[in-house]
A and B are shown apart, each in its own frame.
Chain A
Amino acid sequence: MTQLELATDRGHVVAAETLAASPLAIRGLTVSYGEKPAVFSIDATVQDGSMTAIIGPNGAGKSTLLKAALGVIKPLSGTVSVYGAPLEGQRARIAYVPQRASIDWDFPARVIDVVLMGLYRELGLLRRLTGGHRQKAMDCLERVGMADFAERQIGQLSGGQQQRVFLARALAQDADLYLLDEPFAGVDAATEKAIIDVLKTLKSQGKTVIAVHHDLATITEYFDHVFLINVRKVAEGPVATTFTAENLQKAYGGRLATAQIEELELGAG
């Protein structure tokens, strides 16, 4: 572990400049839906320019953590700072891709209409939609390979195509921090490749990407940082040092067979 991570792990003592540089710094975050906390006392400091996977078993609070970081769910306690400032003033710098399954795709909208929703902060309540805005939306569709589908009703798309439209909407937000909730769930191989290419391009532009991810086999290939969670934080850090058999066993609590873990391309520990 580096000095910095040691400092983080020991408590809440982190140098001020680290927090300011961090796209997403969470302190003591607890969320509860009923009696039982969904996530408990989470600390996280995401590295600027990193691609971080949030991993953990079902019901570990991965999506909850993401939603609470965005203020979509009100936490019981804890603070969230985005690029060193409170979340509320920094929303323009965050793009969010919710789970595809959380939406009614029968909604009367075309692909282009959904992407244009990404321009809401730019347009506000009443600013006129111009050809420039439409062009920007088309460019974002181009980046995910969906430009030909702009006029299509969203319900007529396949799951993978819907996911790409969501990603295009996030691109239209022109953010610095991208939060994605299971972007690869139920998509075809071509879409998975298209999405990861876009995300890697974002990283090369200095953006930060955080994604809830399920497929442990692709962690090493896709991401450079991991955040392991099972209600409480298990570990966070670079894939090379944190994505270890020991941490996985802790996070999944014996639900992963040893054979499964051996097949993974793991960090050195």
Chain B
Amino acid sequence: MMGEEFVALSLVPILIGTFTAIACALPGNFLVLRKQALIGDAISHVVLPGIVVAFLVTGTLSTWPMMIGAAFAAIIAVILIEAIRRLGRIETGAAMGVVFTSMFAGGVLLLERSDTSTVHLDVEHALMGNLESLIWLDAMGWSSLLDPVALAGLPPELPRIFVTLLGVLAFLWLFWRPLKISTFDEGFAQGVGIRTGAMGMALVVVSAIAAVAAFDAVGSIIVIAMFICPPAAARLMTNRLEIQVAWSVAFAALSAVLGYVFAGYGPLWFGGQDAVSAAGMIATISGVILALAALFGPCRSRTGAPSGV
């Protein structure tokens, strides 16, 4: 699989899968520590009806209409949650669950009833993405990586998710200290003048951008898994935030690469005929890594810590 065929068929999907996984896992660290892990889940669900409506209005799947559609759906979701919480006197978690699943289901129905046959937009695509189809037809081997003509033929998802990843990295690099302090101790953070509300909002917005960019290429299953599994597994490997984030990046990349390879070649090893969904396999691998970390991670047991006096 090395050489020409690998570069043309597998390199781009693996890179997209890896960048996607890392872009989601990075903010996921903070979401998990803030006990907001389900926000990643929520965002990736709400995105669907927003994207479908954006497609029905504009007739294209280009970046900006999708982003605006997703953002619009997120705003509607927030309003609905507040309304249900206030009018129905239902606690926030339940209100979130109701709104996000209904909106996702609405998106699925809308998708089924509308003519999207000309583009890659259907229910399966929404769940699993189309990672395997993101091939680089212009590639003639490794040398194509230096050939401007061949590079121009790269699937647009790759530069899109790469820029998104750079944006996520820049956000974390710039706001590392206030994010860390306000995640650990909100009262103290406010006391030293950190705008914790704005910080929390920025984190959710960055997560949403990562989710929308990822959704297009790899579908919602990976997004949900990558926000939670690599950070949760990483937490079990260390007791320092900086090292936890590094572990989460490693786990995310490992899940993406192993998942892609297993999906493509795994069934053959077991005598099967067809490859399975790469997105599904990547999410599964991340779950297996979490399970292994939970069983064997060095920092998994915190029950021995003395409590109280």
Does B309 belong to the interface (CB within 8 Å)? yes
* Beta-carbon contact of A159 and B191 below 8 Å: no
* Beta-carbon contact of A186 and B308 below 8 Å: yes
Stretch in contact with the other chain, from A120-128, A208-216, A237-245:
A120-128
Which of B181, B191, B235, B307 makes the CB contact (< 8 A) with A108?
B235
* Beta-carbon contact of B184 and A155 below 8 Å: no
Known: A91-B193, A155-B305, A186-B308. Contact between A110 and B184, CB under 8 A?
no
Inter-chain CA distance A77–B6, complex, in Å, is 67
* Beta-carbon contact of A123 and B305 below 8 Å: no
How many residues of chain B are within 8 Å of chain A by beta carbon? Answer: 33
* Beta-carbon contact of B184 and A121 below 8 Å: no
Which of A95, A105, A187 makes the CB contact (< 8 A) with B309?
A187
Does B240 belong to the interface (CB within 8 Å)? yes
* Beta-carbon contact of B192 and A120 below 8 Å: yes
Does A106 belong to the interface (CB within 8 Å)? yes
Beta-carbon contacts under 8 Å, B175-218 to A: 175-178, 180-181, 183-185, 187-188, 190-194
Mark interface residues in A228-254 (1 if CB within 8 Å of B CB, else 0).
Answer: 000000000000000000000000000
In the complex, chain A residues whose CB is within 8 Å of the CB of B307: 159
* Beta-carbon contact of A158 and B187 below 8 Å: no
Inter-chain CA distance A71–B191, complex, in Å, is 7
In the complex, chain A residues whose CB is within 8 Å of the CB of B304: 156
Inter-chain CA distance A95–B243, complex, in Å, is 29
Beta-carbon contacts under 8 Å, A64-119 to B: 67, 70-72, 88, 91, 94-96, 98, 102-110, 113-114, 117
Does B277 belong to the interface (CB within 8 Å)? no
Inter-chain CA distance A70–B192, complex, in Å, is 9
In the complex, chain A residues whose CB is within 8 Å of the CB of B302: 106, 155-156
Known: A113-B240, A121-B192, A125-B175. Contact between A188 and B309, CB under 8 A?
yes
Q: When A and B form their complex, which 9 residue pairs have the shortest distance between CB atoms, in order from nearest?
A: A96-B191, A153-B239, A98-B187, A72-B190, A91-B193, A108-B241, A156-B305, A155-B305, A158-B306
Give 23 CB contacts A-B under 8 Å.
A72-B191, A94-B191, A96-B187, A96-B191, A96-B192, A98-B187, A98-B188, A108-B241, A110-B239, A117-B185, A120-B177, A121-B192, A155-B302, A156-B305, A156-B306, A157-B306, A158-B306, A158-B309, A159-B306, A159-B308, A186-B309, A187-B309, A188-B309
Given contacts A70-B191, A72-B187, 15 further A-B contacts (CB under 8 A): A102-B187, A105-B305, A108-B238, A109-B239, A120-B181, A121-B193, A153-B239, A153-B299, A156-B305, A156-B306, A157-B305, A158-B306, A159-B308, A159-B309, A188-B309
Hey, which bits of chain B sit against chain A, CB under 8 A? 33, 174-178, 180-181, 183-185, 187-188, 190-194, 235, 238-241, 243-244, 299, 302, 304-309
